[in-house]
Amino acid sequence: MTLRASGSAPPETAWRRYAAPSRWPTWSPQIRAVRVDGDRIAPGLRGEVVSLFGVTARFVVESVDEERRRWTWRVRLGPVRMRLHHAVLARPDGSATTLRLEGPALALAAYAGPARWALGRLVRA
């Protein structure tokens, strides 16, 4: 499943929002907190995302390409595992973002709505 959003935020702004886990709750309403040792995404970075409802999911960042503004991470919530591939793209009027999701169909369907909302906020000026 691939989700997309476009907005007026410059691509550098959207990328900074992704690259700093402490900023995730500011644009992703379903995230209440992020617990991580580090202030920037990097391969091997591990942490936990606490949802709005207090549910905690563990994650590990697999890859980061700062120049191309792309990154991938694996998220685990109990037995459910998902891999998320993110990208920020420059557009003449701002930026666009894509999120390619891999995982169980039911989990993807449940996550798609909140993720789509968050992506729109990510690229909003």
- pLDDT of 81 > 90? The answer is yes
Residue 52: pLDDT above 90?
Answer: no
Reading across the β-sheet that carries 80-91, which strands appear in turn?
A: 2-7, 94-102, 80-91, 70-77, 56-65, 46-51, 31-36
pLDDT in tens, 16-44: 999 999 999 999 999 999 999 999 999 99
pLDDT beyond 90 at 84: yes
pTM to 2 decimals?
A: 0.93
Is the pLDDT at 74 greater than 90? The verdict is yes
